[in-house]
Each structure stands twice: as C-alpha cells, then as structure tokens.
Chains A and B, each alone.
Chain A
C-alpha cells in the first residue's frame, strides 16, 4: 500500500482581516474525530461567521460537530459557508438534525425493583405455562388413539435414535465410573467395621433405587432438553412453526409428541443400561481392589438384592422423561426471534430440567421411605 504523504488534520484560524470570521481548513472527518473536537472547543468568543470553504474533506462527523458547535454558541447555521460540493451533505443532515428520540431506558433502583417484580411474575407464569403445556400434550397424546393418522412414526424413531441410542455409550461409561466411586466410598467406611462385603448391598441399592435413574435423567436433561429447545427455538426463529400452524398442522403433534414419546421410550431403557453399568462398576472395584471375587459378589447380590429396589428406580424414569421433554419443547416454543433469546431459553431449559429432576427425585425418596417400599 502506498500512502499519501500529507494528511491534513482539521485546523481553525481567525481571519486576520475580520476577527468575527473563523476560517476552517483540513479534513473534518471521522478519522480526525478527536482533533475536530479539540479544534472547536477552544475558540475565542464573538465569532459571527464561519468560512468552511477551505475544508478539504467533510463527512457526517464533521457536519455533526459543526452543528453542535452552532447550537452551543446559538449561531444560526446559515452563518456557515461551505463549498458547493459539500452542500448536498449539509442539506441531508440539516433535514434530519432536529428530531430527538424519547428517553432511554431507566436504570435506577426503582427500575431494578421493577425488574425483580417482573421476574417473579414471569416465573409464576412459567410454572402455569408448564402445567398447561402438560395438559395440552396429554390431551393430544390421547387424541392419537382416536386419530392415529396424526402420529409421526418416522420422526419418533429419529428422535429415539438421537436421544436414546446415541446417548447409550455415555450413560454406560459415566454410570460405570460412579458405580466404582460408590464402591470405593462404601469400602472406605465399611472396612473399619470389617463389613466390606456390604459394599455389594450399598452399590445395588444405590444404583437400583436412585443413581441409575437420576444419573440418566440429569445427563439427558443436559443433552436432550437443550437439543430440543435449540431445535424448536431455531424453527420458531425462522418462522417454521408459524408455517406449520398456517398449513393447518399442529406443532404439538409434529414437534412435541414425537420427542415426548421418544424420551418416554428411551429414558427407561437408558436407566436400565445405567443400572447395569453401575453394578458392573461396583463389581469391578470389588474384584480388583476389595478382594471380593466375582462369583462371591454375584452370589451376595442374588441373595440380598430385592426386586422392589429396581421397581422404585424404574417407576421414576417415565416421570423424568416427561418432565425433560416437556420443559425442552416448551422453552423452545417460547423463543422470541433473537439469537439471545434462543440462548437464554436453552440455558433456562437445562437449568429447569435438572432442578425439576432432582426435586422430584427427593420428594419421591421421602415418599417411598414413608411408605416402606
């Protein structure tokens, strides 16, 4: 790149012949924004006329600054003289100069209080919306029996593959590791009582009752709820959901029910995989570090394990599936047109899904304990 040698910064000079006339020269452009500001700040009083005919280049910033100067000194703008080639620019800017926007956003304590109030109301609305959405989905699920043609088989299987099959290795691996950790933890405490063999009961009960289903649900809340929100949210942004509506189709039938059914089918299966992997993790730790050989471990497990533990765990799986799928889909449908809204909704869907899973699990644990299951 070859550069022009002379850059002329903006300059002002009082006409020696007439102290009321100020002459401007140089480039009054965005490049010299600071120099323009400086040049106009320290001017002597009593200037009645500005001669800008020597200005070499002028852009919107230059004109804007001159206009502001004119306002400050209450100088009529017709006291400025410009070159002909600049007049179109001046005219265009002068035309629009006067309109001001209304006040900007308020940022005081009152506004903060207001936002807090709105946030509380929003949360309440969200809960109502979720319950309403649950009802709508259930009704439309039941309607499938009456009108089976509304059922989207291909979409359902597609989602089953995405949320179920694709997640299986991850669920198995993580459950295996958590199973091993619980075995270690149990062994550490139980060794002091010479009761290392009780690790078998600990791992089985923990995984069958709680951890198998809880781990799976939390993983899917992170993996699947976010995916549902992003997929549906993007469709909302691109007006695809509106297109579905005007084509006389039902977004719940098309988008929500396949996802709900897929998760309802796959979460229990994944839970089963998680349970098995967790038990395997406990067994591996038993065999390799706790001196409980595999046959002994298996025999102990068969002897002590009860089927009701498995049922307590399994019965929660469809509930979690419903919660995760509904939150994921509902948040997606509530996206509003912007990339930021999509991000907020995705975050909110994961946070809500994980919190709901844990809260429901805690309540279920209490209930089952009181009921002596």
Chain B
C-alpha cells in the first residue's frame, strides 16, 4: 500500500501550509496596564521557537493566551488549525489533546506520584487503555525525560527542582502531542543540568517531530536549540529571526541583551 505521508493534518484537523500557531493583533490589558498591543506571531511546524523579552513583557501571558488560560482583550489566535478562543468542547478537546505544557515549576500534582502524574492525561483521554500498557507508557515517558526508572513511585516533593522539571516534561509528553509549550524550562537549573535539559529537548523534538514554543531567559538555550527567536518588547513582537540575525538588530533592548557580557559569553 502506498502511504503518502500527510504532514498537513493534526489529529484529523487539516492545517495545510498554515503555521501551527498564528497570532494576529493580540491585545492584553491588566486594568490600565497594556501588556500586549498588537502582537503578531507564527510558529511553524517542526521548529523550536524561542520567545525572549525582559521581565514583564508578557511572555507567559502570551503563552496563557494561546492556551486559552487567559481571555485576550482583542486579537485572533489560530492554534492547530482551530480558533484558540473557541469555547466549543470538541475544539477545546482537540487543543488539549494535542498540546503539552511544562509550567515553570513543573506544576505536578503534589499528592500523586510521578508515575501517576504522567498517567493522568492518559487516563483522561484513553480510559480503555489497559493498566499495564498505561504503566509501561508512563515509565517510557519518564525515562525519555531523563529520569531514572525508580522516580516513578516518588512524590514530587521528594524530587529536586531539576527532576521536577523532567517529571513535568514527561507529563507534557504523555499524549505524544505535536505541539509543546515550555515555560522557562532551564530557569533554576545549574549550567550542566540546563545544558542537559536543552539537549534533551532537542533530542525529543527530533525524535517525536515536535513543534516547540519555548519561553526562556537563557541565552545558552537560544544559541543551542532554537531555530528562530521571537523578541517581545514595546508590547509587540519586534522581530522573529534566527538568533544570528537578531544580534545585528538595531533595538536598544536587543543590543543590550545579545551584546551584553552574558550574551557575548553565550556566543563564544
């Protein structure tokens, strides 16, 4: 049987050549304070897009808006071929089933073991999966995330910060989602741990064919794994480009960021 591989659908929804995430004219306000004023952003299939910006430029707010955790004040967001602001249960389920999210501190359910945490999405979306298979899958995800097998029966409070992030990543990968959101995955890790985590994300992205939306402060991550980098400043995305091109961009924050002492160190 000839099998033309069709990369243009996600879970049955036709996406065509459109990007996995398309944000247009996004506006977010908190009372008087305007965080986003006309943000445009595309995330293409199969890339790792880094999102950078100073503190308070709304990186996390952007992610929360895309995921539907926050209602933006204006703008359109297309996510996985559907309207991200839709309230329709079928659409929401499509989004939830096909995205994985790693929150800043892992956001593991503190009363469940790591193994149970990873099994939560599997139980929710595939209730008739046999127990043994679900267990094996959870174990596999935990090991793919770089945790030792005996972490399976540990509670999140028994893990170090780095291990909690890995466990959070294992849960985010539980459903094999094509789209992964990572909120500062290397923040709070030691440099060696951060580099290992970067390598892990790259490996998994290639192995599983993921598209990754990566919020980060970490210059090393940008240079090591990001295909393109979006810069949030002045309430907009001021540029999206490979990191080498961004260095030459004439914007005070970007110059400060890439050509400051840390930026120079990361590049060398």
Contact = CB atoms under 8 A, between A and B. Distances in A.
A53 B111 CA distance: 43
A68 B110 CA distance: 31
A339 B176 contact: no
B136 A91 contact: no
A25 B136 contact: no
A53 to B, nearest CB: 9
A1 interface: yes
B143 A91 contact: no
B150 A25 contact: no
20 contacts: A1-B94, A3-B14, A4-B6, A4-B13, A4-B14, A8-B3, A25-B1, A25-B3, A29-B176, A33-B129, A34-B128, A34-B129, A60-B176, A64-B140, A96-B143, A96-B144, A337-B110, A338-B155, A338-B157, A339-B111
B153 A60 contact: no
Contacts of A337: 110, 157
A64 B176 contact: no
Contacts of B153: 101, 104-105
A190 to B, nearest CB: 54
Interface in A286-329: none
A88 interface: yes
B110 A93 contact: no
Interface of B: 1, 3, 5-6, 9, 11-14, 81-82, 90-91, 94, 109-111, 126, 128-130, 133, 136-137, 139-141, 143-144, 148-150, 152-153, 155-157, 173, 175-176, 203-204, 206-209
Contacts of B203: 88, 92
B90 A1 contact: yes
A361 interface: no
Which of B133, B155, B157, B206 neighbours the largest number of chain A CB atoms within 10 Å of its CB? B133
Contact of A4 (B1, B9, B150): B9
A274 to B, nearest CB: 38
Interface residues of A, dominant DSSP: mixed
A21 interface: no
The residue among A7, A33, A56, A339 with the most chain B CB atoms within 10 A of its own CB is: A33
Contacts of A339: 109-111
Contact of B137 (A64, A92, A104): A64
Interface in A335-356: 336-340
Contacts of A3: 12-14
Interface residues of A, number: 42
Given A30-B175, A37-B133, A338 B3 contact: no
Contacts of B137: 60-61, 64
A60 B208 contact: yes
B141 A60 contact: yes
Contacts of A34: 128-129
A338 B110 contact: yes
A99 B149 CA distance: 6
A31 interface: yes
Contact of A2 (B14, B139, B148, B175): B14
A88 B13 contact: no
Contact of A340 (B1, B111, B173): B111
A6 to B, nearest CB: 9
Q: When A and B form their complex, which 4 residue pairs have the shortest distance between CB atoms, in order from nearest?
A: A340-B111, A96-B143, A337-B157, A338-B110
Contacts of A25: 1, 3
A337 B156 CA distance: 9
B1 A59 contact: no
A88 B209 CA distance: 9
Contacts of B176: 29-30, 59-61
Given A2-B13, A93-B207, 6 more contacts: A1-B13, A54-B1, A57-B5, A60-B144, A99-B143, A102-B150
A100 interface: yes
A89 B208 contact: yes
A97 interface: yes
A29 B98 CA distance: 13
A46 B117 CA distance: 40
Contact of B140 (A4, A93, A340): A93
A100 B140 CA distance: 10
Contacts of B1: 25, 54
A54 B91 CA distance: 31
Interface string A1-41: 11110011000000000000000010001110110010000
A80 to B, nearest CB: 16
Interface string A48-71: 000000111101110011001000
B42 to A, nearest CB: 20
A88 B206 CA distance: 7
Nearest to B122: A30
A56 B128 contact: no
B206 to A, nearest CB: 5
B188 to A, nearest CB: 14
